[in-house]
Structure 1
Amino acid sequence: MVWHVAVRDLLATLRDRRTLLGTILIPLLLIPLFTLGLPQLLGQFVGGQQQERQKVGVVGTLPPALRTALERDEKAPDGSVLRAGVTLVAVTDPRAAVADGDVEAALRAPAALPTRAGDGTGTLEVYAKLTSLRAQTGAYGKVENTIDAYNRTLTLERLTALGLNADTLTPIQIKPVDASPPQQQRSGQLAFLIPLLMLNFILTGAMATALDATAGEKERGTLESLLVSPVRRGEVVAGKLLATTLTALTSACFSVLGFLASGFVAGLLQRGQSASSAELSQAFGGQLSLSFGAAVALIGAAISAALLISAILIALSIYARSYKEAQTYVTPLSLAIVIPAVLLQFSDFLSTGPALYAIPLFGSMLAILDTVRGTVTAPNVLIAIAANLLGAFVLALVARRSFGREEVIFRN
């Protein structure tokens, strides 16, 4: 009887094409767009700024060597431009020139700048829109790097004249070695978006079935006919919970397919990119590749989250008089997913002990993020799954009690 109730609700869901669109097509399209398109777009923007020549205004006189360094292009051995120089133009008011957009940055030397080490120090004022990512990755960043290189050149010339070499400035050199697991290195800085998108699509997939199977049936008057049939109330709740969970898991499965497709396509695209753009895209987006154990952990966390979300939706929407009223009840639930999921980008600052994994939904988000990064452990996943299952069981009992109360069933 549980399966019959579930099939009845699933067929009602399948008749709505918009539900199928939100459950299947949207995860396959939006997930690659966010996890692949956004990082690729950022990589193209930042990498494009490096290969594009920007106008930089100049007030006063710059040392010839510094002008040459600013205007020079950095090229790869094959002749391709790794970082383009800037075009220096004369301006009278550097602040106004930057504010009006005539130049992207402006240089002003109040006094003559030194042309060699030992000639004293000088100050070079750099005008730019410092809150702009375009300036930071473009003209301002190029000027800053060139000035650092110019200062180092003057210092090395002075050291050479004294019979010293460059190692005199850096007696101890740092060699960074990434000790994080390979999957965490590949996951990228936007890995926290994966649990956010996955649970949001689980909520979207479950919402259509849960609301239609409770408030929708009350509005159409078909719930009464089901309750007077020879089906126990517990079987009705279990059937509706099963149908809602299956719809949610369908959306979750296509979400995982979207992530895997994003990782595969990202690898193909990075082969055809320049080194700088590929590095930036990898840093932001990364790639998702799962081992068998990680896939089992991801599926377990997704199933338990889907059960809990389905139980919450059914317990809430059965109180509604109409479908629209049910939507107002469950809409804040998305905030309960979005806000903790956004906080996952600061998960490195959290002491991720068993207590955090025991928080329903949030624990499964942490488990999914650990799976993506390759740092998942079996005890933490089991704690997260158990917390979700316990929460789903309690809410299913609440929904079972609601289905047995006439003032709830007939309150429309």
Structure 2
Amino acid sequence: MSLLRWLFVWQVARKELLSTLRDRRTLISTILMPLILIPVFTVGFPLLLGRAFSGQSQDRQLVGVIGTLPAALRAQLTQDAGGEVGVRLLPVTDALRAVQSGQVQAVLKVAGTLPTEAGSQSGTVQLYAKLGNLKAESGVISKLKSALSAYNASLVAAKLKERGLPASFLTPIRVQTLDASRPQEAASGQLAFIIPMFLLQFILAGSMATAIDSTAGEKERGTLEVLLVSPIRRSEVVVGKLLATTLTALTAAGFGLLGVLLSGVIGAVLLRGQIGAVAGQMGGRLNITPGSVAVLILMALSAALLLSALLIAVSIFARSYKEAQTYITPISLLIVLPAVGLQFADFIGRGAGLYSIPVVNAMVVILDIVKGVLNTPMALLAVVVNLVFTALLVLLAVRSFGREAVIFRN
């Protein structure tokens, strides 16, 4: 293509970019939202959960008791130890009603008499609590199980000492679990899957307004016919609109990447201490190498081209802006549904087939980068696949722009 033809392409792209820049809502969704939402969800949300979980250990929960607890066990339950506050015991008569009504957070029901030394007899304690409740699981249930386990251990230790046996007598083999994850993989936490979801969503949001306005919007305003009767080829019109749409998508992706890098800086500062340790298990501390950033940019570029071409190819069939939005809305499911599945990425085999699925491969590669397990050949395969599908969609769009039944479908 000669320089003059490329100038025609740029004129089309420039017109679409100027139209997009006039919309402040698009600028906000493209620039501000990535810088705000990504740090909020990758650092702020884990930090909030970390505070909530840590706060449970500092709360003195109310626990009902049915039956008689040994004095040593009562002391074990109510005492403060290891930076954790004990519970407060309250006699109740109906365990289920007491928990369900909120009178207490849990109930310990003693069946019979509990032993005060190991080997003499056995006893049973029934623990009533809302097992599906995250607050109860991380707070009172954890405390009660820990206290009961400690009481059992103290009885066994006393009996072993009485018999002149060491504490290791009942545990000849100790299991020591060590984390073999890469530092970056361990730091990414359980919420790492939201990063590729956000990046792809921002790319989609950034390209959507330009793609719809440059196709269905122009059809609705009656300006597309003027453009098509100009001395610009249909293919140049499509490439120009694709260029403008991709640039707005890449702008959103660029600010999304800044949001990811900003999350790493904020996470390094805020995720410290006891609360930070809990939050760090869920996500927030991102440490991406320069090489990974280069692959991330390449992956974002291929995803932006693919989504832009897809939006243009779909939007040109719409009669109006609103109809185009109706067509495009299901496309967001192509991002949301796989992103939800990324929560279970550890169960998914990382074969070439997975990296050959358009859009999905971009999220998988971005997740690999976040976790520090980037497979460069598979990432390059994903880029090539996205570019091939982009070319096919561009050909479809060029063909659609050449059909009067599509262009004048209003």
Q: After TM superposition, give the deviation of residue 365 of structure 1 in Å.
A: 1.1
Cα distance in 2 for partners of 1:225, 1:303 equals: 31
Q: After TM superposition, give the deviation of residue 286 of structure 1 in Å.
A: 3.0
Q: Does 1:250 align with 2:251?
A: yes
1:217-263 Cα shifts (integer Å, max 9, x gaps): 10011111111111111111001001111101111111111122122
Cα distance in 2 for partners of 1:185, 1:135 equals: 26
> Does the CA-based 8 Å contact 1:207-1:313 persist in structure 2?
yes
> Does the CA-based 8 Å contact 2:206-2:252 persist in structure 1?
yes
Cα distance in 2 for partners of 1:367, 1:96 equals: 50
- 1:5 pairs, out of 12, 15, 18, with 12
Letter in 1 for 2:129: A
TM-score (norm 2): 0.96
1:25-79 Cα shifts (integer Å, max 9, x gaps): 111111122111211111111111111110011122110110001011124xxxx
> Does the CA-based 8 Å contact 1:290-1:372 persist in structure 2?
yes
Q: After TM superposition, give the deviation of residue 403 of structure 1 in Å.
A: 0.5
| Alignment partner, residue 320 of structure 1 | 318
Q: Does 1:48 align with 2:49?
A: no
| Alignment partner, residue 373 of structure 1 | 371
> Does the CA-based 8 Å contact 2:30-2:206 persist in structure 1?
yes
1:86-124 Cα shifts (integer Å, max 9, x gaps): 011111222211111111011111211001101210011
| Alignment partner, residue 157 of structure 2 | 156
Within-5 A mapping of 1:31-180: 31-75=38-82, 82-180=83-181
Letter in 1 for 2:58: Q
Within-5 A mapping of 1:146-225: 146-225=147-226
Q: Does 1:359 align with 2:335?
A: no
| Alignment partner, residue 382 of structure 1 | 380
Determine helix, strand or coil for the equivalent of 2:124. Answer: coil
Moved over 3 A (4+): none
> Does the CA-based 8 Å contact 1:23-1:250 persist in structure 2?
yes
- 1:403 pairs, out of 398, 401, 404, with 401
Determine helix, strand or coil for the equivalent of 1:127. Answer: strand
Cα distance in 1 for partners of 2:318, 2:217 equals: 9
Within-5 A mapping of 1:285-324: 285-324=283-322
Letter in 1 for 2:404: E
Cα distance in 1 for partners of 2:234, 2:261 equals: 40
Determine helix, strand or coil for the equivalent of 2:231. Answer: coil
1:301-324 Cα shifts (integer Å, max 9, x gaps): 111001000010000000000000
Cα distance in 2 for partners of 1:280, 1:183 equals: 16
- 1:335 pairs, out of 333, 336, 341, with 333
What is the percent sequence identity of the aligned residues?
A: 55
Q: Which runs of 5+ in 2 are unaligned?
A: 1-7
Cα distance in 1 for partners of 2:300, 2:143 equals: 45
| Alignment partner, residue 346 of structure 1 | 344
1:145-179 Cα shifts (integer Å, max 9, x gaps): 11011111111111112222222222222222222
Determine helix, strand or coil for the equivalent of 2:261. Answer: helix
> Does the CA-based 8 Å contact 1:58-1:90 persist in structure 2?
yes
Q: Does 1:283 align with 2:281?
A: yes
- Count the aligned residue pairs: 403
TM-score (norm 1): 0.96
Q: After TM superposition, give the deviation of residue 127 of structure 1 in Å.
A: 1.2
Letter in 2 for 1:366: V
Q: Does 1:24 align with 2:31?
A: yes
Q: After TM superposition, give the deviation of residue 270 of structure 1 in Å.
A: 2.3
> Does the CA-based 8 Å contact 1:189-1:286 persist in structure 2?
no
> Does the CA-based 8 Å contact 1:198-1:255 persist in structure 2?
yes
> Does the CA-based 8 Å contact 1:57-1:105 persist in structure 2?
yes
